[in-house]
Amino acid sequence: MMKPAKLFKLILAGVFLTSVISFADPEDMPLSIAVRSEIDRPFEGWGKADIKEHGKAYTLASIDEGKTALKLVMPVDEDALLNLLRMELTKRGFKEVTTEKPEIILTVIYGRGYLRNPYLDGAILDESGSSGMGTPTVSITMANIDYLVKRKENGFEEKMQNANQEKLFIRITAWANPADLSPKKPGGKVKPKVLWHTTMITDDPGHRDLNQFMKKLLAAGSNFFDREMDDDEKFIKTDLPEGFIYYGDTIILEQE
């Protein structure tokens, strides 16, 4: 009868010695992404102004890490982030200009922290009644009837609670070119004007390196650049590519 040690060697050599197993890199892992996007629509008459697309000729003015007390797992390669952003902008019909006059000016902020909760829009927050954890309580009045209606929607409470958690984020903001703006008063200063902004978010910022996930975040968010959203945020979940195991030819070891 073959000894257990011999049998183990045969199995190891015959099957697993030539096996190839694919393991997913961190950037290939499934990722749940939330995208929030808004465009500037000032009130005109009884409602907001009509939706319109803004210019596509852009210049990248700045990139900065959001100033919070929370540090990223690893410093971000800002050049790589900007190159990925340029690729996504090109896919969406935007054109970077250097000598021509830009129609929009883009700024980028990234980092980790606690963001404004979009599900509390319309609620009246009572900071004085907040708990010791710093979470404000919500007062309900007839002025925020839209918020009351939204609270009845399926899954609203879960999404609202999740939005309160710390996030890993990239935010792209498009500004009007100051040369195209006029001061409200003669001789006054021109105030910066936001045309649209898109924020891409994912969870678990204390254990995730933004460098490994910024490609997926930008790809998910670029579809919403300069677009109005019907919902407070859109959710995109990436899939894990299928792995494989390749079994080579069996090798039979001679018995000693």
pLDDT of residue 239: 65
pLDDT of residue 130: 40
pLDDT of residue 47: 58
Summary mean pLDDT of the chain: 77
Q: Give the whole-angstrom CA distance, residue 219 versus residue 65.
A: 20
Q: Give the whole-angstrom CA distance, residue 44 versus residue 54.
A: 18
* Strands laid side by side in the 32-39 sheet: 95-96, 57-65, 104-113, 167-176, 194-202, 32-39, 234-237
- Per DSSP, the three-state class of 11 is helix
Q: Give the whole-angstrom CA distance, residue 64 versus residue 104.
A: 18
| Domain at 19-114+165-246: CATH code | 3.30.160
Q: Give the whole-angstrom CA distance, residue 233 versus residue 150.
A: 13
70: left (phi over 0), alpha (psi -120 to 50) or beta: beta
Sorting pLDDT into bands at 50, 70 and 90, what band is 232?
confident
Strands 104-113 vs 167-176: parallel, antiparallel or unpaired: antiparallel
At 158-185, the pLDDT tens digits run: 888 888 889 999 999 999 999 888 887 7
With contact defined as beta carbons under 8 Å apart, do 196 and 226 qualify?
yes
Q: Is the pLDDT of residue 120 over 60?
A: yes
Task: Write down the domain spans for the chain.
Answer: 19-114+165-246, 117-164
Mean pLDDT of 66-88: 94
Listed residue (134, 220, 203) closest to 166, CA to CA:
203
Q: Give the whole-angstrom CA distance, residue 172 versus residue 239.
A: 25
Q: Residue 212 is which amino acid?
A: Q
pLDDT of residue 176: 94
Mean pLDDT of 49-63: 87
Listed residue (20, 49, 34) closest to 167, CA to CA:
34
At 188-226, the pLDDT tens digits run: 788 899 999 999 999 988 899 999 999 999 999 999 999
E strands in the chain: 20-21, 32-39, 43-44, 47-48, 57-65, 95-96, 104-113, 124-126, 137-139, 167-176, 194-202, 234-237, 245-246
What is the token pair recorded at 28? Answer: 């290939």
Q: Does an H or E element contain 53, and which?
A: none
What is the token pair recorded at 49? Answer: 């102004």
127: left (phi over 0), alpha (psi -120 to 50) or beta: alpha
- pLDDT exceeding 90 applies to what percent of the chain? 40
With contact defined as beta carbons under 8 Å apart, do 183 and 48 qualify?
no
